[in-house]
Structure 1
């Protein structure tokens, strides 16, 4: 609470309605230093009351750190105090309310960012991706990496965490983007949480965090496939996951197993981000590969190959990210919109809705109608690898004569592709 008093009186004071208009006009000159919005546009002013020259302002500054919030209050006091006819100004901080706020279950879309190993840039990608989404969406960023919560430092978000009247933790606001992390509550102290403790802490944050935004939630998962990852899949309906890897062979191999884990848990894999794909020399401008490996065997579409640059090591701003990250954001949202679709040609044999006794007949009919050299594509709701043996018997050719590719397109859809041999 802050007060200023001005004992100077004026010969003729305007009526309260006119004075209120002038007070509001003065307040609109005060800006949110982070978002460059007026205090009204930023949602800081909850109420303005004017009575006989005294002004009472009710403000909600929970999204700002203490020093920035006090600076905004001081600026508001100066602006109102300079208005002719104001005899005194009183500012009250509004108590945060949970009205209109939502838990994680209310988000329209939930995107997880995962990696098989640490040190591949997963949290960096998660932070940049959330900021890319923020250009067009109301976004929240949840740091579920409870043992190494790096998100606050990556997006320059600082506590303290405030609570609603009901005691629910409220995220920190960063230029309109919600940010929640145990790192905002633990002051950077190392966290040595074991299984049950970690599970309970994470579940509590998923259920009770009073988010303001409810469009897209980006979850930065810890590396690997441990308790925290499984807890997240248990507590949250994840609409899609982005996996992050470097082109190093061990990372690519482990990422393939991570992809399968998510698909086995019915989570669509939106694609992979290949981080540190190359380094462009500052002196000569020539690109150099950091790893002499390939990601061609990774069973997921590549959404982006990000270079090792200083630009991507900087602090991303919500809605203002490097071009490569903006492109990644668009591709990820496109993949999210089509996560349940299978991209196959119109003449593919689709046996997903057929009873078992009809499946072989449909496969035989289509395969026998093809000429040698023509492509055969099958869509199934189970692994179709055994179909290769059936095709070899139909063609009267050994199984080894067929170059058969099987891929899992969604958690519940497989695609088999081959060419009919003579």
Structure 2
């Protein structure tokens, strides 16, 4: 039997296109080693993005394909994910342990931005990354509720200087809601809000995080400018609905962050379609195709399109978002795809 060679193994790897990097495994630089020992083959792959649920199935598929080659009796494919830092030049004291910061934003309120941020963080965690989430919506913080943190919970203080984030559902969570009375409104002017945001970011004792997701408030004001100027954000996810009014506001967010040189990773379209639970009729209550049009106009990716679903709302209100509550559901799988696409976009910068 003719022995297999390295070129034959590389040819197999070139036939598979990574759906998140849009490159074959050789061109993407994922191949770390190809060892051929007579009729035995060992391939080592390393992914620079969060792909914990994806890589094992890929390894099994490649192993079967390689073992189908003439001259191969046994093949083994080892995969691992190594998340590296893509920090910008801007640095802030307190973020030394954070590799990558992702902002989730919208100019308009009520489009599901906070729900997207929470499920994105949970999906990245399920893919094997270490994740934290910062609720930067000073006036209307909601992440504490979404992560089931009981009312009145206060973070511990370390060395009389650092806030210790609350750990919930495997995620490090920090919010202004943990530092103020539950029903007390934040009647603050812009400079006070910006100062509070910087305090939350820089005086939180974040652990060794692969990703810190920042849930931004709606708008393009003081908090957004402070974030852009002071915090090393590596990428932005824009959240919108298909509604024309929401799309107009989403464009404002897009333009603002582009002007301050924060890369826009893509668009998430929420409430894209409503499917009747009784008859299955699909209706586009807020318009159709708006997210795709926005992505096309700005030459970016439509990262995910999610339905108008009562389940998403109920799970978030109950303190256990759908990625944690029903991880094998179809909607949760959309968030997993979102997490892989976002982390892959960051790894390519």
Q: TM-score, normalised on structure 1?
A: 0.54
Alignment equivalent of 1:269, drawn from 258, 264, 269: 264
Following TM superposition, by how much is the alpha carbon of 1:109 offset from its aligned partner in structure 2, in angstroms? 0.8
Following TM superposition, by how much is the alpha carbon of 1:262 offset from its aligned partner in structure 2, in angstroms? 1.0
Is it true that 1:144 corresponds to 2:154 in the alignment?
Answer: no
How do residues 198-209 of structure 1 correspond to structure 2 at under 5 angstroms? 198-209=193-204
Following TM superposition, by how much is the alpha carbon of 1:294 offset from its aligned partner in structure 2, in angstroms? 3.3
Is it true that 1:125 corresponds to 2:116 in the alignment?
Answer: yes
For the residues of structure 2 that align with 1:318 and 1:173, how far apart are their CA atoms? 17
Following TM superposition, by how much is the alpha carbon of 1:117 offset from its aligned partner in structure 2, in angstroms? 0.2
* The structure with more radius of gyration: 1
For the residues of structure 2 that align with 1:179 and 1:236, how far apart are their CA atoms? 17
Query: Could you report, residue by residue, the CA deviation over 1:191-225 in whole angstroms, capped at 9, with x for unpaired residues?
Result: 11111111111111211111124211000000010
For the residues of structure 2 that align with 1:151 and 1:107, how far apart are their CA atoms? 19
Aligned to 1:383: none
Higher RCO (CA < 8 A, seq sep 6+): 2
The change in CA–CA distance for 1:317 and 1:104 in structure 2 (over 3 A counts) is: farther
Is it true that 1:186 corresponds to 2:196 in the alignment?
Answer: no
Query: Could you report, residue by residue, the CA deviation over 1:356-399 in whole angstroms, capped at 9, with x for unpaired residues?
Result: xxxxxxxxxxxxxxxxxxxxxxxxxxxxxxxxxxxxxxxxxxxx
Equivalent residues of 1:161, 1:184 under 8 A apart: yes
Following TM superposition, by how much is the alpha carbon of 1:293 offset from its aligned partner in structure 2, in angstroms? 4.1
Is it true that 1:335 corresponds to 2:345 in the alignment?
Answer: yes
For the residues of structure 1 that align with 2:186 and 2:113, how far apart are their CA atoms? 19
Aligned to 1:282: 277
For the residues of structure 2 that align with 1:291 and 1:195, how far apart are their CA atoms? 33
Aligned to 2:305: 305
Aligned to 1:6: none
Is it true that 1:166 corresponds to 2:171 in the alignment?
Answer: no
The change in CA–CA distance for 1:309 and 1:318 in structure 2 (over 3 A counts) is: closer
For the residues of structure 2 that align with 1:139 and 1:170, how far apart are their CA atoms? 14
Following TM superposition, by how much is the alpha carbon of 1:292 offset from its aligned partner in structure 2, in angstroms? 2.5
Alignment equivalent of 1:245, drawn from 240, 248, 255: 240
Equivalent residues of 1:195, 1:227 under 8 A apart: yes
Query: Could you report, residue by residue, the CA deviation over 1:310-364 in whole angstroms, capped at 9, with x for unpaired residues?
Result: 33221227766411211211111122222x3xxxxxxxxxxxxxxxxxxxxxxxx
The change in CA–CA distance for 1:285 and 1:318 in structure 2 (over 3 A counts) is: closer
Aligned to 1:80: none
The change in CA–CA distance for 1:145 and 1:219 in structure 2 (over 3 A counts) is: same
Q: Which runs of 5+ in 1 are unaligned?
A: 1-101, 341-422
Following TM superposition, by how much is the alpha carbon of 1:175 offset from its aligned partner in structure 2, in angstroms? 3.2
State the SS of the aligned residue for 2:167. Answer: strand
Query: Could you report, residue by residue, the CA deviation over 1:121-142 in whole angstroms, capped at 9, with x for unpaired residues?
Result: 1011001111111111110000
For the residues of structure 2 that align with 1:273 and 1:318, how far apart are their CA atoms? 16
Equivalent residues of 2:123, 2:336 under 8 A apart: yes
For the residues of structure 1 that align with 2:258 and 2:174, how far apart are their CA atoms? 27
Alignment RMSD (CA, Å): 1.7
Query: Could you report, residue by residue, the CA deviation over 1:233-283 in whole angstroms, capped at 9, with x for unpaired residues?
Result: 122110000000000011112211211211111111000000000111010
For the residues of structure 1 that align with 2:322 and 2:144, how far apart are their CA atoms? 13
Q: Which runs of 5+ in 2 are unaligned?
A: 1-92
How do residues 6-405 of structure 1 correspond to structure 2 at under 5 angstroms? 103-135=94-126, 136-158=128-150, 159-188=153-182, 189-295=184-290, 296-298=292-294, 299=298, 300-313=300-313, 314=315, 315-316=320-321, 321=327, 322-338=332-348, 340=349
Equivalent residues of 2:240, 2:247 under 8 A apart: yes
Q: TM-score, normalised on structure 2?
A: 0.65
Query: Could you report, residue by residue, the CA deviation over 1:82-121 in whole angstroms, capped at 9, with x for unpaired residues?
Result: xxxxxxxxxxxxxxxxxxxx92243111100000100101
Aligned to 1:374: none
